[in-house]
């Protein structure tokens, strides 16, 4: 990525949790930024402070509306594609939610890029593309990829579409399989849920599953820095990276950290049982991050540290 203040970025999903952190960084560095978001899970207040700045533009619209998307994308240099359904359990029940908001939406983003001759994209994929794997560190070369949620299936379909558009139309693409991204402004996820549950009942915490689910958690600032780093350093026309940290943390431990940060003692953890939190939840996600390491990047916090920092921020602001 050229460090050029005239470069302009089109951020789909820019009013969401990760998107708004990204936008904060890019706008403050003087880049021209357009946020394109339908606010289905994002919030206007996440980006409100930028409205009126000469290098910022907000479009409230849907990526499923291709004519509007194509028109608004015109004249940008790079697309950061973050818009998607992010409610995984609902996506498993409403079976066209991920098909539309993830797969068809991504095809529209690529089509708008092709029609506007925009040739660079960064894409927010997910560890869910790996599916239900044995307890080993997952590397990008693992396969076959057999997702177990419609969200994961959607992300895998998007990776395929991006790869094909990249090959056919000369679009340079960096795809990132995120672990669990945490930080302030989060409006969903296990830390957010635990804080709200413990506010309602400070004596007892209900944990979905057996609490032994073990996953990779990393800071939103690391997520953005890692994407930018790989986009700058990677020389391939299209590539995919695990983005997260090497360590992991159990859901039971997250419950303990959140309670501790809320100043609560002797919280009884009550488990709903079973290995998964919900149908389609992969109980074990640990990353092999060597590909990012070879580019010279590692995350700045371990998973337990990231969970603690995110809990501290959320307790203050929610």
Report the greatest alpha carbon distance in the chain: 59
- Contact call for residues 130 and 179 (beta carbons, < 8 A): no
**How far from 103 is each of 15, 158, 237, CA to CA, in Å?**
20, 6, 21
Choices 13-21, 134-142, 226-234, 270-278 (CB under 6 A): range interacting with ligand NAD: 13-21
Q: Write a three-state SS string for 177-195.
A: EECEEECCCCCCCHHHHHH
For residue 178, state whether it binds ligand NAD (rule: CB under 6 A). yes
Contact between 18 and ligand NAD (CB under 6 A)? yes
Q: Which is nearer to ligand NAD, 12 or 166 (CB)?
A: 12
Least spacing, CB of residue 13 vs ligand NAD, in Å:
3
Distance of CA 1 to the CA centre of its chain: 20
Is 166 a binding residue for ligand NAD by CB under 6 A? The answer is no
Instruction: Tell me whether residue 151 is one of the annotated catalytic residues.
Output: yes
Q: Is 149 in the site for ligand NAD (CB under 6 A)?
A: no
- Residue 83 in the binding site for ligand NAD (CB under 6 A): yes
User: Which of 91, 255 has the CB closer to ligand NAD?
Assistant: 91
Alpha-carbon distance 89 to 81, whole Å?
Answer: 22
The single residue among 8, 41, 103, 133 that binds ligand NAD, judged by CB under 6 A, is 41
51-70 binders of ligand NAD (CB under 6 A): 62-64
Contact flag: residue 40 with ligand NAD (CB under 6 A): yes
Residue 37 binds ligand NAD, judged by CB under 6 A: yes
In angstroms, what is the minimal distance from the CB of 131 to ligand NAD? Answer: 14
Shortest reach from residue 261's CB to ligand NAD, in Å = 19
Name the catalytic one among 31, 130, 151, 284: 151
Determine, following the binding rule CB under 6 A, whether residue 99 of this chain makes contact with ligand NAD: no
**267 or 292: CB nearest ligand NAD:** 292
List the structure tokens of 214: 């073990």
Contact set with ligand NAD (CB under 6 A) = 12-13, 15-19, 37-42, 62-64, 82-86, 101, 105, 124, 126, 178, 180-181
């Amino acid at each position: 990525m050229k460090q050029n203040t005239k470069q302009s970025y089109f951020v789909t999903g820019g009013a969401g949790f990760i998107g708004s952190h990204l936008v904060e960084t890019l706008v403050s560095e003087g880049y021209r930024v357009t946020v394109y978001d339908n606010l289905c899970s994002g919030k206007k207040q996440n980006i409100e402070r930028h409205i009126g700045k000469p290098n910022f533009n907000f479009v409230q619209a849907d990526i499923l509306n291709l004519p509007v998307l194509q028109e608004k994308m015109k004249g940008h240099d790079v697309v950061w594609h973050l818009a998607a359904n992010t409610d995984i359990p609902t996506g498993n029940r409403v079976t066209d939610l991920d098909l539309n908001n993830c797969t068809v939406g991504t095809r529209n983003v690529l089509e708008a890029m092709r029609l506007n001759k925009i040739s660079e994209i960064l894409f927010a994929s997910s560890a869910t593309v790996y599916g239900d794997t044995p307890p080993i560190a997952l590397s990008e070369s693992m396969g076959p990829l057999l997702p177990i949620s419609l969200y994961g299936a959607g992300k895998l379909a998007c990776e395929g579409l991006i790869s094909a558009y990249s090959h056919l139309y000369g679009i340079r693409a960096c795809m990132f399989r995120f672990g669990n991204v945490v930080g302030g402004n989060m409006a969903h996820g296990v830390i957010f849920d635990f804080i709200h549950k413990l506010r309602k009942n400070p004596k007892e915490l209900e944990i979905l599953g057996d609490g032994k689910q073990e996953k990779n958690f990393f800071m939103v600032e690391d997520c953005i820095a890692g994407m930018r780093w790989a986009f700058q350093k990677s020389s391939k026309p299209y590539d995919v990276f695990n983005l997260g940290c090497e360590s992991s943390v159990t859901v039971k431990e997250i419950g303990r950290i959140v309670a501790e940060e809320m100043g609560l003692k002797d919280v009884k953890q009550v488990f709903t049982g079973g290995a998964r939190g919900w149908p389609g939840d992969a109980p074990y996600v640990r990353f092999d991050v060597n590909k990012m390491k070879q580019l010279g990047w590692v995350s700045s916090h371990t998973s337990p540290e990231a969970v603690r920092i995110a809990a501290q921020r959320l307790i203050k602001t929610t």
